[in-house]
Structure 1
Amino acid sequence: MLNTSRRHLLLCASILGVGSLSGTAFAASTTQPEQNAHKAVHHKASTSTTAAKSTPSAVAAPAATSSVAVPAATSSVAVPAATSSVAVPVATTAPASSSRRRAALLEAQGVSGGTERMVVTGSALASSNNQNANPVQIVTAKQIQQTGATTLSDFFARIPSIGGTGTNNSETNGTGGASCTDIRNLGSNRVLVLIDGKRATLNGQSNCIDLNALPVQQIASVEILKDGGSELYGADAVSGVINIKMRHNLSDGNITIRGGITGQGDNDTGMISAYKGWNFDHDKGNLTLFGQYMTQGGVLQRDRSWANPVQLSDNPVGSGAETFGSGYSNYTHVQSASGLNAAVAPDGKTVSDWGTNNRYDYGRHQSLINQLQDASLSGDFHYEFNRHANLYSNVMYSHRTSSSYMAAEPFDGSVQPSTLPSVLTVPANDPNNPFGQDVDITKRLTELGDRRDENATDTVTAKVGVNGEIAYGWDYDLSYTYGSNMSTDHLENVGSYTNLLNAYGLQQTDPSSATSALVYNPSVCPSFGCSNPFGTMGSQAASYVNYNTNTHSHYQLRDWNLRINNNHVTTMPWKGGGDLGIAVGFEHRGEQLTNTPDELISSGQSLTNTVLPTSGGFDVTEGYAEAKATLLKNVFLAKDLTVDVQGRASGYSTTSDTAKNWKASINWAPTQDIRFRGTIGTSYRQPNVYELYGGQSLSYNLANDPCDAGQVGTYGAASAAVAATCAKQGINTSTFHQSGTGQVPTLGGGNAHLAPEIGRTYTFGTIITPRWIPNLSISGEFWHYSVNHTISALPTQYILDGCYTGTSPSLCNTINRLSNGQINTVTATNQNTGALHESGVDFDFDYRIRVARHDVLSVSNNFQYLLNYTQQLVPGGAFTNYTGALLYAGGPNNANASYGIPRVRDYATFGWTHGAFTATYMVQFIGGMRWNDQSEFLNSTTAGRYKTPMMIEQDLTLAYRWKKWNFESGINNITNKKPPFVASGVDNSAGATYGSFYQGRYFFLQAGLNF
């Protein structure tokens, strides 16, 4: 009778959220309710706990995003638990049936869930909360939702450990509308993003899990392993693993509606989501359906005063001059071999010297934040036949459309493999030529209209598997995942080069040669007549020249997984010894990427960037193992002493080498108040399918030609070397002028001859959870990454400077010039460049206390301090220190975007809960940074503005729960803080780092109904 009453008391405590439960057990019952549905052996309990389930809009005390451990509560006061690096139970698609039975047995015996052994990202073996040696940060659904984030990318921008080298919604050119992420600024190609612990489908155009395509309302939690995970998860987990756990196995329903708008009346967002789950056959099976539709209105750059006009540079080379806009203008830029450097007005007649007044403010015509629409559907099913076989499956589908605007097409000739003219030379006998000599022209074809890029993506990830118990203690999980991402990029107002030549009445003397002369031949003109190449085309000619392109990409994933594990193989054969657990696994994966550009683009006949068709893939067969041994427990000076070793061997079809990775970790808790942990591991990363076979494309990167008459003198002591190198190439630096000043045609993309990266990672830390201060947790962690033979594309300006200053003469081989001296292309495809070293420390604090019967106060803080970030950009070259740097014109991990590597980042959350009401105040801090041009820091003597200030963003959310309704409202960026100025040449800031400031003050409302 006493035991029965005790079980009833525990059940009531789990429903009401009171009682002597540990912090982590409380977190599981309040923020991850679907875990209760797994306890199918207690049908009555499973039914009765439905009322306690949280929903995507459920109101709970604000949870912290700290990566520290939460101490078990020592009193009967119900205090909302932290979201921490401990093993918080989260519902998965396929919970092991034997694990469910053991958990239910523990509960029936009155054992607190806080000591339950469970699997957390970073290990294949279950462990108690105090045995986790890996630095794992766990984020709950509530934390994401209380920020008003429309996409997971918007939320990740707040977390200090999430770097800024990925892509986001503020990048409008070349991202395919996808948002990528990374850890520690090591690049999106070195982080592995999982969904429910398994690989998912990449975006074929961006080589990442597209965070825009993941419905935020379906996310149950996110586990961030801030340490290398290649040994357990695969070669691409160099910087860590982000495991996104979705909601599954539900038995109730919910409808949630959200809307938001900026203080300036744009970027209006809307979202509606719904789910419903059903148990059947006495709770042996479950079917859960989920759907969400989200829309985001976007922001145009001209609607933000700080983004206009576009400033290309702010004296980065010390000349004192400020340059705005682009040299590709609606004025025709005219040059000749005799040194002519003139501008012809759009009327086609007025001639003047080319100067700064002829530049074009393209920013007024482009998007600052993309428009987005995403419709997502998912279905989840599982059925437990018996303890040996639990069948599960999950299908996720997303249709995402993103739209952005760019300025009208710039034009200055063709590049290989096109045989159309590499330079558009208007012959002297053209009746519209006022100069009496052959002249080369470049211009921006504004008469075609602004370009509109619409990317439509369909992503499917289907998973089926079976798990269960082989024999007592031995569990297995066998699964197969198929993924497909099909993307179509529709680009409007591009134009046909062939039709442009016809419209001008120009004809090649040798159509098979891009360097052949052009002659004036009016017979090739269309029926409505010839157009003036120096002026603006009429509407008929513009329609004749205009052209819309469609580029297709298709990524496919096939992944077989088998894991066998036993958490208690044996007990250490000495006094005080603990368990030995073993896990072994097998994985066979195939990835395939096909990129098919529009035929006009691939043949070089369009006026846009040339993209070559590519196709390729690889297969990899891998085996891995893990052993975790508790050497001592509950003895003097060893409350717990656990070691863990992991290893993985991988054989790729693209190489005969076998990649081997290993990792060792230790967790020592001399008392239950403090513990120390450390890890050391290796990485051997084979290039991914996108780095190998991604389509090569031509883009106009921000860079200045060192041979330009206005640039040579800016190199200081190296000016003589620059002039000498230019002279060897037949360029007179006193008279030569770069066409399209500020932008250089650059060929980037995949390289099938890449070698693997090799690296090492280690972390050391401590966690303090004093018993005499319940619900207080403090942690500190030192971390270090080292990667050699890094795979990246060098920035265009770095290539040019390295060649012409003589510091890297081999880079000259990547620069191709035309007969008139203009740069035709700079080749900056993926290469094995050099090495990268990074180290830093994390400090995390979490505390919550009940100050009155109905009042709970909480505070949490995540702090990151960067000690060192250095990179060697070419093999054998010097290391460049990027610590605290803002790479204003692209950097080694993203050559086309400005991003920062701040020394200090911090995210703090302060919460107050009063009954059904919750208020949460959030503060994000980004330290100030000095500008770096990939070789040195700028300063007050060499530049005008040369650094950005520290930035603080403040948010406030209010939430209220009433019966089955949940309401939430909030303000992001309360003070309407504007992003700092950065001479990026794109939008006057750096979206990868400061993107959360771009929209300005933002308001949102949300309402949810449980049923």
Structure 2
Amino acid sequence: MRSAEIMLAPSRHHHLAIPFLAVPRPRATLVRAITVALILAAACSAQAQETPTAESAGDATTLDSVTVTGSRIRRVDTETANPVTTIGREAIEATGKATLGDLIQELPAIAGNATNPNVNNGGGTGASAVSLRGLGEKRTLVLVNGVRLAYNDINSIPAAMVERVEVLGDGASAVYGSDAIGGVVNFILRDRFEGVQASADFGQTSRGDGSRRNYSLTAGHAWDRASVVGGVSYHKIDEVSAAQRAFSKDALNLVNGEAVRQGSSATPFGTISFNDGSAEAAALAASAGCSRVTLDSATGSGPTDRGDYHCYDATADSFNYQPFNLLQTPQERTNAFVLGSFRLTDNLEAYGNAYFTKTHSASIIAPVPIFAIGDNFLVSENSYYNPFGINFGADRATGTTYNTFNTRLVSLGNRQYEYNTYNLQTNAGLRGGFGDSSWQWDANFNYGQVRQKSINNGFLNYAAFNQAVGPSFLDSDGVVKCGAAGAVIAGCTPIDIFNTNDPATVEALKAMVVNPISTSTYTVKQFEANANGNLFDLPAGTVNLAVGLSYRKESTSTKTDDLAVADLEGLCGVVEFCTTVLNGSFNVKEAYAETLIPLLADKPFAHALNLSIGTRFSDYDSVGSTTNSKLALEWRPIENLLLRGTVSEVFRAPNINELYAGIGGDAASAIDPCNGYTGGNDVACANVPTDGSYQQADPQVSGRTSGALVAGYDGLKPETGKSYDFGVVYDPKWLEGLSLSADVWRINLVDTIATVSAQTVLNQCYANSASAFCPLIHRNGNGTIYYIGEPTVNLGQLWTKGVDFGANYRLPDTRWGSFNASLNGTYVARYDINPDPTDPGTVVIHSAGKYTYSYGNFPRIRALGTLTWKQGPWSAAWRIRYVGHTSIGSTDARQNLSADSALPAVERGIGSYAYHNLQGGYDFSDWHTRVDVGVDNLGDKQPPLFYNNNANNGNTDVTTYDVLGRYWWARVTVTF
């Protein structure tokens, strides 16, 4: 296939389709459409057509039939109704990418905010996910040789075992079941390899950091009846600190149109607000000349007094956490794999493959912050070290909140999340034929297990800390003790939380450090039996059928230290680290059938006309049953022009996390719509002063995520929808080597399963005080946000549509060598989310051409262009990745998506980006050695500033833009 020669070549079978018109009753309409199609097929079969001659039929049978991702039917023609993009092994190697994630996430069809190793805050597992159409990794199905990947981390797949990657940009629930809404990524493995191949790869940024090392060894042999391929690989990349880049070294916020260095209000010197409404607090504010103060940084050891404080200035006094964070998280990965087959008889073959991946990775963020109200600490008015004589924080027992007190324990060092992930996947089966017939069958068993152990360093024991900041007194022996005279708390050492630099306080805090450990295990077991072959002949060709049955069971369990288990409010015995205990399982039984009906062939304006019909029944013990079907039409009016259309029903069943997850903490970025509140919605802005003085102290708020069952929502069901495609592929005879495509797609979803974001909760309740989101907002007595519930529910609708376009041209060979040029791109025309269609006051979020924290980045245009050259032992490639114009914020004030933290309805434009990557190589054939060198981001482009009030990592969108700058790499490959 031509596409295997170059990155993303849109060769004949790799295009997507143009959507049908909207229909009001999708399921009933699709049933009617299938009925009409069957009638049409019968009518066409009755027409008198010439039967292919024995000679022509014999010629056809000499061609190999194959299955292409998106269908179970074996066909000679690889150009079908399925819009598939193929990336061949040669193209994979030419990119110089260290991982499959680096490669796949550059595809133009990828959008949104799928995770990758550049995600530090909220990442660190070393994983890369795929988000086709920006629908999220949960709506993209990842396969290995057509079998579900147990762990949606494509970095865990050893790159050395991959022959090619097929990316289907079409909904495929009728073929593969749940999750295949945005599309399918299928990694096809190297089942044949002769010899031994060793490779070493090195890379580093032009600034001397971000080093990578890759080593791989692959060996294989094929006999008459058997073949085996195996290998090992090792991959390591070093961390890159956010302090090493100008755009990320400071926590920046856009305030009143100006970039301001403004970090967290949890500072090493404490941020204190006199805001509980009491007379004592009001008097202290009047005495200080402001309602918010912080400790002078010059204060040394010993108790503080009121004269040691000055009025808090966010620009000067906030904590810059950025230098503690990472732009690239470290990871070390070891892979081992083996693939083999053995032909037992002429009609029976046994096969199997297995791979194991161990990944050690980490994320590092700033030292643990203390938010006395959010973390439910009560800094007692009776503490010996309290110079103000009033309570701060919250009383967990009574739920009473007092004045705000935030601090940060820098003496304890950074918080570090270390992950050890072990991933094993095996697939074994038998396949064969039924005598001399066209029918083939396959039965296989797939087993996958992922075990992840996280060690979380730099946290505090809640109970010990809460006692230490409680009542304390100077005893008669001159020692400060916890409790009160005559009621000393044994084993407790009081601390001066108002001066965390005090040596005695530092020593006491270090004694409270805990490093909780959590281990999660996920297991999938699946059995499949498939068969496909010819049914009968029609005048236009042979009717093919594929059928199959499958059973899959998924289960998961989590173990964690007792201290870290979250209660129903997301609180636990560890400060700023509470984890959910997840245990559960479900199974699904499925059956499918797919048929290809040739309607016309070799007729005027009908060189070929084929109809495909498929349906799949899925029965989940967790959420019930569903049936999803597809209808596709391929029409070639002339031999080199293909028109095709597909309409598919799609669905996604809730996964284990969505069903069974317990309460978990979330440090979400959200802008409070009640800033400057003067009245109007006392539900959304409960307890907020109406004099316009209220201003959110920090864009980071406390959230409480939860699975559906824990949230009390036991009616979770699959999300459903329609995928429409219509496209044209043209391979002109008048210009050999050229292939063009233009494809339009549309996806509509209802009852979307989502963890509602804190920002969505705030926006929807502020827009409508009767919204179902309002009870999720929990405010303190002074109006500040305590926490926001973020449950998983069926609640939304989503509509997206766009156009894919592609061109590939293999130029005629010249004396200057062989050239190949390709261009592939995606235009997003619409991406709308209705968080709650049952609410007439809901605010629809329009994301096309925009970036939002909740949904990610959706530039209107993304593209990837490649020019390759080869002459003799020399080769070179020039790749251009284009990210089009996007914007942050919205001028629609109802969406509360302002790019400015102080001004409403501000929209900022972000210009387009083009990254240039070069590669060159030479084959030393006498030494069986190839050397490749390359540079990514040749122009050293730095990412655009999105600012901390809009993005959670590095002041930018780390899932879309390059954050490391110019990157040099070299690889040596020896084959023998």
**Category of TM-score, reference length = shorter chain:** 0.7 to 0.9
Provide the C-alpha distance between the structure 1 equivalents of 2:956 and 2:61, rounded to a whole number of angstroms. 48
Given the superposition, is the C-alpha separation of residues 223 and 992 from structure 1 closer, same or farther in structure 2, using an over 3 Å criterion?
farther
Contact 1:177 1:370 in 2 (8 A): yes
Could you tell me which amino acid in structure 2 is paired with residue 612 of structure 1? Answer: T
2:522 matched to which residue of 1? 555
Farther off after superposition, 492-501 or 942-951: 942-951
| Higher mean C-alpha displacement, 465-474 vs 475-484 | 465-474
Residue in 2 aligned with 1:930?
Answer: 887
Q: Secondary structure at the match of 1:790?
A: strand
One-letter code aligned to 2:733? R
Aligned equivalent of 2:756, options 794, 802, 809:
794
Superposition pairs of residues 706-725 of structure 1, within 5 angstroms? 706-707=673-674, 711-713=675-677, 719-722=678-681, 724-725=682-683
What is the match of residue 908 of structure 1? 865
Give, in whole Å, the separation in 1 of the partners of 2:591 and 2:126.
35
CA deviation vs aligned residue, 1:614-649 (integer Å, no higher than 9, x gap): 211110000000000112222322221111001000
How far apart are residue 385 of structure 1 and its match? 0.7
SS in 1 for 2:763: helix
Q: Within the alignment, does 1:869 sit opposite 2:812 as a pair? A: no
Q: Does 1:435 align with 2:401?
A: no
Q: Paired residue for 1:135, among 41, 61, 83?
A: 83
Does the Cα contact within 8 Å between 1:721 and 1:805 map onto a contact in 2? no
Pair 291,210 (structure 1): closer, same or farther in 2 beyond 3 Å: same
Aligned equivalent of 2:330? 371
Shift of 1:492: 0.7
Question: C-alpha offsets along residues 380-416 of structure 1, whole Å, 9 cap, x if unaligned?
Answer: 121101133201111110000111210011122487x
Q: Verify the 8 A CA contact 2:862 2:882 in the aligned structure 1.
A: yes
Q: 2:203 is matched with which residue: 260, 278, 293? A: 260
d(CA) in 1 for partners of 2:346 and 2:7?
A: 37
Counterpart CA distance in 2 for 1:781 and 1:721 is 48
Instruction: Indicate the SS of the match to 2:825.
Output: strand
**Residue of 913, 924, 932 corresponding to 1:962:** 924
Q: Deviation at 1:821? A: 4.3
Paired residues for 1:472-621 under 5 Å = 472-504=437-469, 506=471, 523-524=488-489, 530-538=495-503, 539-566=506-533, 568-572=534-538, 574=539, 577-602=540-565, 604-621=572-589
Hey, what's the Cα distance between the residues in 2 that align with 1:335 and 1:879? 34
Residue pairs, 1:574-973, within 5 angstroms: 574=539, 577-602=540-565, 604-655=572-623, 657-707=624-674, 711-713=675-677, 719-722=678-681, 724-725=682-683, 729-734=686-691, 741-752=698-709, 753=714, 754-806=716-768, 809-819=771-781, 821-853=783-815, 855-877=817-839, 878=842, 880-888=844-852, 890-891=853-854, 893=855, 899-932=856-889, 935=895, 946-963=908-925, 964-973=928-937
CA contact (8 A) 1:507 1:524 kept: no
Other structure's SS at 1:432 match: coil
Letter in 2 for 1:592: S
What displacement does 1:883 show? 4.3
Instruction: Give the whole-Å Cα distance in 2 for the aligned partners of 1:373 and 1:939.
Output: 37
Q: Which residue does the alignment assign to 1:326?
A: 264
C-alpha displacement of 1:437: 2.5
Distance change >3 Å, CA 251–CA 726, structure 1 → 2: closer
Work out the CA distance in 2 between the residues paired with 1:225 and 1:384.
31
Deviation at 1:526, TM superposition (A): 5.2
- Could you say which residue in structure 1 is the equivalent of 2:93? 145
Residue type at the aligned position of 1:862: N
Q: How far apart are 1:180 and its partner, in Å?
A: 1.1
Against the structure 1 CA distance between its residues 734 and 423, is the aligned structure 2 distance closer, same or farther, given a 3 Å change threshold?
A: farther
TM-superposed CA distance for 1:378, in Å, is 0.9
**Cα distance change, pair 527–635 in 1 and its aligned pair in 2 (3 A):** closer
Query: Which digits, 9 at most, give the CA deviation of each residue in 1:16-50, with x for residues without a partner?
Result: xxxxxxxx2x77xxx6xxxxxxxxxxxxxxxxxxx
TM-score (norm 2): 0.85
- Matching residue of 1:343: 294
Q: 2: distance between equivalents of 1:880 and 1:65?
A: 34
Per the alignment, do residues 998 and 530 of structure 1 end up closer, same or farther by CA in structure 2, a change over 3 Å counting?
closer
CA contact (8 A) 1:310 1:985 kept: no
Deviations 1:747-770 (A, max 9, x none): 114223322211001100111111
Letter in 2 for 1:353: C
Contact 2:676-2:692 at 8 Å conserved across structures: no
Q: Kindly tell me: are residues 562 and 580 of structure 1, through their superposed partners in 2, closer, same or farther at Cα, counting changes over 3 Å? A: same
SS of aligned partner of 2:268: coil
CA contact (8 A) 1:765 1:781 kept: yes
How far apart, CA to CA, are the structure 1 residues paired with 2:226 and 2:104? 34
Alignment of 1:37-76 (within 5 A): 63-69=6-12
TM-superposed deviation, 1:295: 0.3
Distance of 1:527 and 1:186 partners within structure 2: 51
| AA of the residue aligned to 1:1005 | A
Q: Which amino acid aligns with 2:594?
A: E
Contact 1:969 1:1006 (C-alpha < 8 Å) held by counterparts: yes
State how far apart, in whole Å, the 2-side matches of 1:813 and 1:847 are.
58
- Structure 1 residue 310: Cα displacement: 1.4
CA deviation profile, 1:107-142 (whole Å, cap 9, x unmatched): xx99899x5321100110112336511111111122
State the Cα distance separating 1:159 from its structure 2 match: 0.8
- Do 2:896 and 2:905's aligned partners in 1 also have CA atoms closer than 8 Å? no
Query: Which runs of no fewer than 5 residues in structure 1 stay unpaired?
Result: 1-23, 32-61, 71-82, 87-105, 203-208, 416-421, 509-516, 714-718, 894-898
- Which residue number in structure 2 is paired with residue 297 of structure 1? 238
Q: Distance in 1 between matches of 2:95 and 2:226?
A: 35
After superposition, the C-alpha distances for 1:862-914 in whole angstroms (9 at most, x for unaligned) are 021111111101133456353444334x22x4xxxxx2111111110011211
| SS across alignment from 1:810 | coil
Kindly provide the amino acid, as one letter, of the partner of residue 395 in structure 1.
A
TM-score (norm 1): 0.82
Superposition RMSD in Å: 2.8
- The one-letter code sitting in structure 2 at the alignment partner of 1:447 is S
**Are 1:1008 and 2:973 an aligned pair?**
yes
Once the two structures are TM-superposed, the CA of residue 306 in structure 1 deviates from its matched residue by: 0.7
* 1:424 and 2:391 correspond: no
Please, which of 214, 237, 254 is the counterpart of residue 314 of structure 1?
254
Distance in 2, matches of 1:989 and 1:116, equals 53
**Residue pair 1:816, 1:825 contacting (<8 A) in 2 also:** yes
| Cα offsets for 1:124-165 (capped at 9, x unmatched) | 011233651111111112222222211112112221112233
The secondary structure found in structure 2 opposite 1:307 is coil
Distance 1:522 1:704, change over 3 A: farther
Query: Is the contact made by 2:889 and 2:905 (CA closer than 8 Å) also made in structure 1?
Result: no
Distance, in Å, in 2 between the alignment partners of 1:826 and 1:529 is 32
Of the structure 1 ranges 984-993 and 807-816, higher mean CA displacement relative to structure 2 is found in: 984-993
- Does the residue aligned with 1:119 lie in a helix, a strand or coil? coil
TM-fit CA distance, 1:988: 4.5
Q: CA deviation at 1:805?
A: 4.4
Give the match for residue 21 of structure 1.
none
Instruction: Confirm or deny: 8 A CA contact 2:683 2:769 kept in the other structure.
Output: no
Residues 405 and 321 (structure 1), Cα distance of their counterparts in 2 relative to 1, 3 Å cut: closer
Aligned-pair CA distance for 1:85: 8.7
C-alpha displacement at 1:684, in angstroms?
2.8
Structure 2: how far apart are the matches of 1:884 and 1:520?
65
Could you tell me the percent identity over the aligned residues?
23
Alpha-carbon distance in 1 for matches of 2:606, 2:78? 12
Q: Which whole-Å CA distance do the structure 2 matches of 1:66 and 1:475 have between them?
A: 31
